[in-house]
Amino acid sequence: MDRNTFTGLFLILIILVGSTFLLKPSPEEIKQKAAQDSIAVLKSKGIVPSTTTTKENIVQQIIKDSVVNITKIETFTVLENNKLKVTLSNLGGKIASVEVKNQTSYLGKPLVLFNKLDTKFGLSFLADGKNINTENLVFNKIDNAKDKATLRSQNADGTFIDYVYTLPADSFKLGFDVKLNGFDAKIQPNTNLILNWETRLLQQEKNITNERQYSGIFYKMLDGDVNKLSETSDEVKAIEEGKINWVTYKQHYFSATLVSNQGFNKANLEIKSLALEDTSAVKIYKASLNIPFKAQSNYAMQFVFAPNKFDVLNDQNIGLENIIDMGWPPLKWVNKYGVMQLFKLLNTTGLSIGIIILILTVLLKLVIFPFTYKSYVSMAKMRVLKPEMDEIKKRVGEDNQALVQQEYLKLYKKVGVNPLGGCLPLLFQMPFIIAFFYFFPGLFELRHESFLWMKDLSTYDAVITFPTIPLLGWNHISLMCLLMTISTLIYTYFNNQVSGATGQMKYIGYITPLIFFGVLNSYAAGLNLYYFFANVITFTQQYFIRQFVNDDKIHAQLQENKKKPEDSNKKKSGFQKKLEDMMRQQEQIKQQKKK
């Protein structure tokens, strides 16, 4: 670096340092700028200071505004027992989040039903012509015992609003009392307080599509039954008459319920679905509930945050167990008073859920075994009659089906065979088969229970995963569902051998299991396990029945029946008479067409 360069750099440094001190604003200018900034802040708050506003007033307003900002900093109060961990926020005094203890999400994380970002909760009403919404108020904690917290929003005129939360030990109930102090003269009589509650229940299960299928809003009238909004589509419902006892935000295995001891006057309920690709929550739930205003009165309510376990909901003694779908009557009666009671008894033994499902299946098959045996014998009779039936068809002609059926009926009557003998026992079994279809998917006890390779019996056990197939919506193959389908196909094959089914009936039996595979591939592995056990046990029963049923003996007995004189006085069944009349009419119509 030569002398000229050094001299130039030195002069530049002197200029920079000198300008910093020479251009520095005076103390008076700094105060003036601060005052201008303060006035701008006041204007942004809706306060327009006059030209006579002094510096002291501005400073006081800045201090006051700072205090307001400090009080709006969110703080939390936690109530906790062995069942729940409830976090309360001072902003709006609302419940910020609820964790159900001893439960985890499908990811193994603590099970949090909802969070503060997705929840709006507030009481709105008119007081002295002004609209008050507690969601916009700040509540300060004035009392916090182990099981109780009181949050208060104090007004300048001495009026205040208290939210009192109480969480008893060993309970899923959270007491919620609202107290309005000093508002008697401010609120018009015969008006309603509006309680708004909106939230998004978070995903807890592996299959969110299936979880959404079992999620919805339920409500119970104070002196009536439990009703619900649609679980499969968006719906808005206005309830104008009667008092509502409680409203439940239900998802597959957990629910959040708000209960009013005196009842809500009116309600507007809304359930809204999310886009398929949006897995941030299950659904959006909204409720606007009317509470009749009463002077000098407290408003006693309760929250119930609980798993959808039949015994847990039943213990609340408010009819909450009815949110569990057990099917329509009589399926509901079969599940509630039969299957559920038996399951509860078996569950006390400490056996794994997989073994309990096996025992349930065995017991069911034993109960209906007499009908299974009768069905098998009836199909065996039809099978040994097939040569004679083929002869009738050949003699009459296949193009004259009405006459063929008439000849078949004469043959059945002569040999003493009921053509519906193989169907009626199956119809008797159907209520039990369908009842289990409702029972297992809603059974909380399946959740996170493992059996063999299945880690969670409440959801599918994917053995193969792949990109989602358009239209079908598949992205996996459930191993238990695959085994169930294979066992059904094998059972159908041997059943066709027993019944002698031919033609379309033979192939329909193979198509049906494939359809069920498409339906049940994403269902609970516990349900597919039951159907698999049912197929194996039925196949085993038929194998042993075959050892005791001899076709030759059956054929000989039918031929003996032919020799017996026909009892002309024997009354025909109503169904048989209608069937014969219908075939006779069809034959007459056909003969008239030929003329």
pLDDT in tens, 322-337: 999 988 888 888 898 8
548-565: burial string, b at 16+ Cβ within 10 Å, e else: ebeeeebbeebeeeeeee
pLDDT of amino acid 63: 46
pLDDT for res 92: 94
Instruction: Give me the DSSP letters along 208-228.
Output: HHHHHHT-EEEEEETTS-EEE
pTM: 0.76
CA atoms within 13 A on the CB side of 351: 14
Exposure on the CB side of residue 202, measured as CA atoms within 13 A: 20
44-51: list long-range contacts, CB under 8 Å, 24+ apart.
none
Residue 297 has a CB neighbour count (10 Å cut-off) of: 14
Q: How far apart are the C-alpha atoms of 274 and 175, rounded to whole Å?
A: 31
Cis peptide before 387 (omega within 30 of 0): no
Q: Per-domain residue ranges for the chain?
A: 76-324, 333-563
Q: Hey, what are 353's tokens?
A: 């859920």
Q: At which residue do the structure tokens 């008697």 appear?
A: 184
- 337: which DSSP letter? I
pLDDT tens for each residue of the chain, 595 residues long: 555 555 655 566 566 555 555 555 665 665 566 556 555 544 554 444 544 445 555 545 544 444 444 456 899 999 999 999 999 999 999 999 999 999 999 999 999 999 988 899 999 999 888 899 999 999 999 877 789 999 999 988 888 999 999 999 999 999 999 999 988 888 888 888 999 999 999 999 998 988 999 999 999 998 888 999 988 889 999 998 889 999 999 999 999 999 998 899 889 999 999 888 888 899 999 999 999 888 767 899 999 999 999 999 999 999 999 999 988 888 888 898 888 999 999 999 989 999 999 999 999 888 888 888 887 777 778 777 777 777 877 787 767 777 777 777 777 777 777 766 666 666 777 787 788 888 998 899 999 999 999 999 999 999 998 888 777 777 889 999 999 999 998 888 877 776 655 666 667 778 888 888 888 998 999 999 999 999 999 888 888 888 777 777 777 877 777 777 665 444 555 555 565 566 566 656 665 665 5
- Token pair 């005196």 is found at 262
pLDDT tens track for 241-272: 889 999 999 999 999 999 998 899 889 999 99
Q: What does the pLDDT read at residue 498? A: 63
The pLDDT value given to residue 45: 44
For the CA atoms of 329, 332, 338, 344, what is the dihedral angle to 10 degrees? -170
CA distance 174 to 147: 10
Of the candidates 139, 136, 138, 135, which has an alpha carbon nearest to the alpha carbon of residue 122? 135
Structure tokens at 2: 């030569």
Q: How far apart are CA 238 and CA 215, in angstroms?
A: 19
Gap between the Cα atoms of 264 and 193, Å rounded: 10
pLDDT of res. 100 = 96
Question: Of 307, 99, 283, which is closest to residue 209 (Cα–Cα)?
Answer: 283
- CA 128, distance to chain mean position in Å, is 43
Amino acid at 208: I
Q: What is the largest distance, in Å, between two alpha-carbon atoms of the chain? A: 143
pLDDT at position 5: 58
Which tokens in the block code for residue 306? 């609980």
Helix (H) or strand (E) holding 31: helix 27-44
Measuring CA to CA, which residue among 396, 398, 389 is closest to residue 419?
Answer: 389
What CATH number does the domain located at 76-324 have?
Answer: 2.70.98.90
CA–CA gap between residue 445 and residue 19 (Å, rounded): 79
Pairing between β-strand 476-478 and β-strand 130-133 as defined by DSSP bridges: unpaired
